[in-house]
Structure 1
Amino acid sequence: MDERIAPHVEEISRALGNRYAEEIRIELEKLLQFKVPLDEAKRTILNRFMSRSPTSVQVKDLVSGMNSFDITGRIISIEKRTVTVQGEQRSVFTGSFGDGTGICSFTCWDDMSLKAGDAVRIKNAYTRLWNNRPELYFGKRSQIEKLPDGMVQGIEEMSHQNLKKLQDIAPADVVANSIVVIVEMYHRDVPMKGKLLTITEGVIADETAKLPFTSWTPLKGADIGSFIRFEGATVRIFRGLPSINFSESTAVSVISQPEDLPFTLESVSKASDPVPIGKVLEKSGIFDVTVAGNIISVRPGSGMIDRCPVCNRVTQKANCRAHGSVDCVSDMRIKFILDDGTGSLHVMLNCELSEVVYGKSMYEAEKMALESISKEVVYDDMKRVLTGKYIVIRGNSSRNEFGVTLVAKSAWYPNTDLKERISSLLERIEGKVIDDG
């Protein structure tokens, strides 16, 4: 072995549990022959061989409830806090951890002598759900191995230079950088410390996805159609759906559209082709997704309902859970199960979309209910009209304890020919038969 690379091979092998030394040597020599910088070559090899281990994960793979895994990266920030647990005061260490695939928050309940900038391999780590996102946890049952500095990306590169596509922003991410186009933008005044603060909200997009954003600082020179590059934006998660937040610490710049950018304002503004429901079920939440399928069940709670005039909650016998007895406001909605053969999900339609899909206005529905002296007649009629219908829905999906729900923004019956759909279905079935052997 070349004596010049022997120490580096040993470093990488040690970080991987003293394994793969000969394979590491071959890969390292090959990368160096192609003039790859040494530190980058070492990081590449480390990530490649880590993926072989069933216990090794990366930040982008973190989900709630994971146990006994290994993860390699860098402590980006860390602070010591005092908290009260069961009446006793304890020290806890919190901060952020990154590995090049993402940056997550962490909590450590023991003093592991860590400081910001440390490159480490954490063995026997686990995750818990905190603030709607998976958070990395480790402590005295974990093992911390310090790594040579060059084997892990630097803090500046992870925090500000690693650009992500919007679809790759993971539930564990607390910070994100990307290049996007603004497709929706509006301003809103919110009370803040006794004053009104004007914030900017809207939707950003690239060729992979769309996400909502909020800017707590003025976006100078930005408007609908502007291409922007942002670095150090915070990611918030609600019911599995990410949103991007710009603050004073976020670097946001308006840029001219790069020639090699694979999307335009026009391309991202169009409704996407329907995504298989099975793919939607794999995600915790998707912003602005289109699905198509058959309505297999219209659920209870559909039809004529009453809402609280204050909080808009559905009331029961003129009583709101938050405001007690109220003068209710009439409304109409549809809740149904949509299935496309790859999976099924719950769909919610508001009054406006319910009128379009059902084919009757709320006035007509109210008239039906009055004539029969029962609101159930509307629900029964919806089941008769809608069950079995093939429909396309566009909206936002999110996951809760009951499964995945798609709140519709638009809905329509497609003009596709039934024979074409049957042919497409047969092709899928035949393809699956062939793939299964």
Structure 2
Amino acid sequence: MNNTELTPHFEELKKALEGSIDDDELMAELNKYLNDYHVDIAAAKRGILRKYGKSDSSFATSSTPVKKVADLNGTEPNVDIVAKIVYVETKNITVKGLNKTIVSGILGDDTGTASFTVWEPGAVQMEKGSVYNFRNCYCKLWNERVQINIGNRGKVEPAVGIEFEVPNSTASLASTDVKIGDIREGMGNVSVEGRIMSVESRKIVSRGEEKIVYSGIIADETGKIQYSAWHDFDLKAGESISVKNCYIRAWKGIPQLNIGDRAVVDRLGTPIEVEAGDSLKTVCEINRIGGGLDITVEGVVVDMKNGSGLIKRCPQCNRSVMNGMCTAHGSVDGIPDMRMKLVVDDGTGAIGAIVNRVDTERLTGVTMSMATQLANIQGEGVIVRELMGRILLKKVRLTGNVMSDDYGPSMIVRSAEAVETDIQEEAEKLLSEVEAAI
């Protein structure tokens, strides 16, 4: 920012500091925070206020503009909104390996609606149809739509005595049509068409109230995804449907379709064709969507991680145990097993893959019996070396569920097979690519 752009922020700070710092020093402080510390203007102002003993909370609230939803442009760093809850849900997500609870949904006023997320909900309990003051929000654009965020500096408070009608149909409520294979974590209001592959129901307790959740798998020609419906739409396996106004939540990076009480379900006259087999994707595509069900990857094994070879599993939960200790059930008499923890590279990126005993035996030719006998003679360390010698730099085709975390995507392999490589064909292909690049 130049000095002209800084002027309104400078005047704001000058008024809040009440003469405790001269003008030149204040401008120097602003420039230092912005250009030396490289923080945004809101953080710079908070830092300066705290440095000179002023409360940044009262400052932020008093200087925060109040806007109508229709007036938001998606670039506001700090704004107050008075709005009614149109739709709300609580989500559990994983951030930097830690479980986190957030609240999201749609809010609206008499000018329009927008999606929102409360990242630190605390004890606040928001109810559909109630009006709240959303203080110190920041806004972003996603798919050309405004998203309202309430972070750790924000507050959500009941707006007592305020009532208004939210328009039933606004542009911000329109769903985005997507194919199932393109669904990724963080998407807002989406519509999909697909065939119901399975349906099951279970009872849960939410806020002290017993509810029935309907779940299963829905698929189209691009992939499949798990869904959860919070209303009985009378879904049946085999039927093709269109679902509008859905929301995406994720579990360990695997997107899941959430069909809430705002969703509209229609039966289709023409059946949806579902791709036979599994969805072949590159690692680059997986990184974009975050994860998925029954994904297939082809690539070269470039590494084997610790934890491969002979292991023992808890007889109750099937987790691997270390020194006879299960993280969930304590001291147990482990059941012998074998696995490989591979790193597979397909040229667009690398993915971790946990291969079970059956597929380990198929890919390497090393059976559980052989490994046990060899370990009794030479120790368990030799098993890993034997497996590496037989699998490293081999091309494989893996299928399974893919999850993502801070360390990247990882597949729990359901099936695996070796891929024969035509050296002549691959060499000619590489030569063509090199010549084309020259």
- TM-score, with structure 1 as normaliser: 0.60
CA RMSD of aligned residues (A): 4.6
Q: CA offset at residue 313 of structure 1?
A: 2.0
Counterpart position of 1:401: 406
Of 161-170 and 320-329, the range deviating more from structure 2: 161-170
Judged with a 3 Å threshold, the aligned counterparts in structure 2 of structure 1 residues 375 and 232 are, in CA distance, closer, same or farther, namely same
Tell me the residue number matched to 2:59: none
Alpha-carbon deviations, 1:165-223, whole Å to 9, x = none?
A: 324434223543211123x3153655669999886543222233321123455553622
Contact 2:324 2:334 in 1 (8 A): yes
Q: Is the 8 A contact 2:297 2:398 kept in 1?
A: yes
Higher mean C-alpha deviation, range 167-176 or range 192-201:
192-201
The farther-off stretch of 276-285 and 384-393 is 276-285
Would you say 1:203 and 2:212 are equivalent positions?
A: no
Structure 2: gaps (5+ residues): 1-70, 89-102, 122-128, 142-146, 155-166
Task: Check whether the contact 2:204–2:213 (CA below 8 A) recurs between aligned residues.
Answer: no
C-alpha contact (below 8 Å) 2:119/2:150 kept by paired residues: yes
Compared with structure 1, are the counterparts of its residues 178 and 116 closer, same or farther at alpha carbon in structure 2 (3 Å cutoff)? farther
Q: State, as a whole percentage, how many aligned pairs show the same letter.
A: 23
Measured in 2, the distance between the counterparts of 1:410 and 1:253 equals 35
Counterpart code for 1:235: I
Residue 177 of structure 2: SS of its match in structure 1? coil
Q: For residue 285 of structure 2, what is the amino acid of its counterpart?
A: K
Q: Could you say which residue in structure 1 is the equivalent of 2:277?
A: 270
Say yes or no: does 1:237 pair with 2:250. Answer: yes
Unaligned runs of 5+ in 1: 1-45, 51-55, 58-67, 81-92, 110-114, 128-133, 142-152
Q: Which of 363, 381, 386 is the matching residue for 2:386?
A: 381
Q: Distance in 2 between matches of 1:283 and 1:246?
A: 19
Q: CA deviation at 1:298?
A: 1.3
| Residue 77 (1) aligns with residue 85 (2) | yes
Following TM superposition, by how much is the alpha carbon of 1:234 offset from its aligned partner in structure 2, in angstroms? 4.0
Give SS of 1:282's match. helix
Distance of 1:178 and 1:200 partners within structure 2: 17
Alpha carbons of structure 1 residues 75 and 322: separation in structure 2 relative to 1, 3 Å: same
Q: Give the distance between the partners of 2:217 and 2:435, measured in 1 at CA.
A: 40
Paired letter, 2:117: S
The match for 1:176 is 190
Question: Secondary structure at 1:269's aligned position in 2?
Answer: coil
Distance 1:199 1:287 in 2: 20
Secondary structure of the residue that 1:180 maps to in structure 2? strand
2:298 pairs with one of 292, 298, 319: 292
Within the candidate set 411, 417, 421, 2:416 is matched to: 411
Equivalent position SS for 1:222: coil
The separation in 2 between residues aligned to 1:363 and 1:214, in whole angstroms, is 43
Cα distance, 1:390 vs structure 2: 0.7
Q: Contact 1:117–1:155 (CA<8 Å) still a contact in 2?
A: no
Alpha-carbon contact 1:76-1:155 (below 8 Å) kept = no
CA distance, structure 1, for counterparts of residue 356 and residue 203 of structure 2: 26
| In structure 2, C-alpha distance between the alignment counterparts of 1:280 and 1:330, rounded to whole Å | 33
Q: Provide the rounded CA distance (Å) in 2 between the counterparts of 1:425 and 1:200.
A: 50
CA drift of 1:301 comes to 0.6
Structure 1 residues 108 and 300, CA, compared in 2 at 3 Å: closer, same or farther? closer
Please give the alpha-carbon distance, in whole angstroms, between the structure 1 residues aligned to 2:342 and 2:104: 43
Task: Give the Cα–Cα distance (whole angstroms) in 2 for the partners of residues 234 and 206 of structure 1.
Answer: 17
Q: Distance in 1 between matches of 2:337 and 2:309?
A: 8
Contact 1:306–1:315 at 8 Å: present in 2 too? yes
Distance 2:224 2:209 in 1: 32
For the 8 Å contact 1:105–1:172, the answer to whether it is kept is no
- The alpha carbon displacement at 1:228 in A equals 0.9
- 1:337 shift after superposition: 0.9
1:251 alignment partner AA:
V
Counterpart CA distance in 1 for 2:84 and 2:221 is: 30
Counterparts of 1:6-21 in structure 2, within 5 Å, are none
- Does the alignment pair 1:252 with 2:257? no
Q: How many residues align?
A: 325
- State the distance in 1 between where 2:248 and 2:338 align: 34
The correspondence for 1:164, drawn from 171, 178, 181, is 178
8 Å Cα contact 1:190/1:198 also seen in 2: yes
- Check whether the contact 2:292–2:403 (CA below 8 A) recurs between aligned residues: yes
Query: 1:425 and 2:430 equivalent?
Result: yes
2:226 matched to 1:212?
Answer: yes
1:96 equivalent to 2:106? Answer: yes
Contact preservation (8 Å) 1:70, 1:123: yes
Tell whether the 8 Å contact from 2:300 to 2:394 is kept in structure 1 after alignment. Answer: yes
Aligned-partner Cα distance in 1 for 2:433–2:424 = 14
CA gap of 1:104–1:198, structure 2 versus 1, over 3 A, is closer
State the distance in 2 between where 1:386 and 1:293 align.
12
Amino acid at match of 1:105: T
Q: Distance in 1 between matches of 2:259 and 2:87?
A: 23
**Of 301-310 and 395-404, the range deviating more from structure 2:** 395-404
Would the aligned equivalents of 1:94 and 1:108 in 2 still touch at CA under 8 Å? no
**Letter aligned with residue 422 of structure 2:** D
**Alpha-carbon contact 2:225-2:257 (below 8 Å) kept:** yes
By how many angstroms is 1:369 displaced? 2.2
